Amino acid sequence: MTRGDKGQAGAAVNILILGGGGREHALAWAIKQNPKTDRLIVAPGNAGIAMLAEVADLDVLDSTAVVAFCAENAVDFVIVGPEAPLAAGVADATRAAGILTFGPSAQAARLEASKAFTKEICDACKAPTAAYARFTSAAPARAYIHAQGAPIVVKADGLAAGKGVIVALTEAEALAAIDDMFGGEFGAAGAEVVIEEFMAGEEASFFILTDGVTALPFGTAQDHKRVGDGDTGPNTGGMGAYSPAPVLSQAIQDQAMAEIVLPTIAEMARRGRPYQGVLYAGLMIQDGKARLVEYNARFGDPEAQVLMMRLGAQALDVLLACAEGRLDQAQVNWADDHALTVVMAAKGYPAAYAKGSEIKGLDRLPEDSRHMAFHAGTLEKDGRILANGGRVLNITARGDTLAEARNRAYAMMDLLDWPEGFCRSDIGWRAL
């Protein structure tokens, strides 16, 4: 058999997932349930992932090392979790080596890696998004801010680990952001700056799988970016999420597909940069219409945790179909259910926090198709689980209603014994 027909033939597949956070734990958990999965390796993984898959110490940004690892371990299928290896061209390298790969090329992943590129694509395909201007020096950027007034949004063009967007409520804040960006605070990511119209409305995440031609809606979610209850305090990578997102009605999904997603996929193909993988569209919904906030070239974290909780084993079949270019034959069967995840973070996050505290009580938590404690930043040492990151655990549950999922997740939280951690107590409030 050739590598191109793995999923179709139903043969056993050796899988390598790149990444080591809660997103990758959730992907591994869902994929492990599929009988097609033979070997499942996650690099670098974490303590939770190590309980269900092999973990490997591999530099996931080193294309040569990843390709060599695949050859040594007879890997048939590579799934790239985070954006950094995509931007580094790892998916290009594995595909060039003949290994089936889920994830866009570096050229296609520019949709996440460059905000200015995304704006250019939106212009070309007339996708609704915030009005904007691009700058490579401070003086004209400052003049533009004076002319437009606040609120206004200032963005470093490149990847800045989620910190490169300043939603400025005053002109002074926007000007300070310009000084920071052109002052080098974001390194090369801030060499170009995009200044955008502030969009009011409700934000939600729409996930679409595409093989470059066919696009398959792959679920909706909403996350909570602020660290504190009531959506207060500084921005984080996400303190919790739930799926589905009620604000993304079928009508709005249809509009977003027709006006934003399909035109983007067609424009990428037209430019010779076909996009293959998951396209994560951050949307702002106001007055029954969606506009694009941003694209990501990967699953959201922690949005993937709630999507995988709902999808289970079928996730692998659809990811394989996507990588093999036969999404036109694939389908997703959604149950009429809800999932919710609460992030446990180390005290201090998103600012400085300590590593190494012990997390107790994990063995008391139920683990089944309705309850999972996904690990985001953990490490096992002498049989103990230690915190090893800012976001540490994703306590995830499923239910017939969102309230049921929420109650299950918080009931699990009560069984945890980790005084050095904290979580928000109101995940899902907007939808409940």
Residues that bind ligand AMP (CB under 6 A): 130, 153, 162, 165, 167, 196-199, 203, 225, 282, 293-294
Measured from the CB atom, is 151 or 361 closer to ligand AMP?
Answer: 151
Closest CA to 277 of 29, 105, 429, 40: 105
Minimum CB separation from ligand AMP for residue 405, in Å? 23
Measured from the CB atom, is 88 or 178 closer to ligand GLY?
Answer: 88
Structure tokens at 181: 């960006």
Q: Please state, in angstroms and rounded to a whole number, the distance separating the CA atoms of residues 382 and 328.
A: 48
Residue with tokens 């080098």: 184
Give Rg (Cα) of the chain. Answer: 21
Q: Is 303 in the site for ligand GLY (CB under 6 A)?
A: yes
Q: Please state, in angstroms and rounded to a whole number, the distance separating the CA atoms of residues 371 and 407.
A: 11
Minimum CB separation from ligand GLY for residue 247, in Å? 16
Q: Is 296 in the site for ligand GLY (CB under 6 A)?
A: yes
Closest residue to ligand GLY in the complex (CB):
238
Preceding amide of 244 cis, omega within 30: yes
Asked if 411 and 399 count as a contact pair (C-beta separation under 8 A), the reply is no
Measured from the CB atom, is 144 or 299 closer to ligand GLY?
Answer: 299
Q: Please state, in angstroms and rounded to a whole number, the distance separating the CA atoms of residues 257 and 263.
A: 8
Q: From the list ligand AMP, ligand GLY, none, which binds 238 (C-beta under 5 to 8 Å, kind-based)?
A: ligand GLY
Q: Is 300 in the site for ligand GLY (CB under 6 A)?
A: yes
Candidates 76, 301, 324, 420; binder of ligand GLY (CB under 6 A) is 301
Closest CA to 267 of 157, 89, 120, 88: 120
Put residue 253 in one of left, alpha, beta given phi > 0 → left and psi -120 to 50 → alpha: alpha
- Report 203-262 residues binding ligand GLY (CB under 6 A): 223, 237-238
Question: Hey, which residues does 77 pair with through a beta bridge?
Answer: 15, 100
Measured from the CB atom, is 10 or 162 closer to ligand GLY?
Answer: 162
Q: Is 377 in the site for ligand GLY (CB under 6 A)?
A: no
Measured from the CB atom, is 283 or 373 closer to ligand AMP?
Answer: 283
Q: From the list ligand GLY, ligand AMP, none, which binds 192 (C-beta under 5 to 8 Å, kind-based)?
A: none
Q: From the list ligand GLY, ligand AMP, none, which binds 293 (C-beta under 5 to 8 Å, kind-based)?
A: ligand AMP
Measured from the CB atom, is 165 or 247 closer to ligand AMP?
Answer: 165
Q: Please state, in angstroms and rounded to a whole number, the distance separating the CA atoms of residues 323 and 303.
A: 21
E strand spans, 382-429: 384-387, 391-399, 421-422
The interface region with ligand GLY, picked from 51-59, 98-106, 174-182, 295-303 by CB under 6 A, is: 295-303
Q: Please state, in angstroms and rounded to a whole number, the distance separating the CA atoms of residues 221 and 204.
A: 6
Instruction: Write out the residues near ligand GLY by the rule CB under 6 A.
Output: 223, 237-238, 296, 300-301, 303
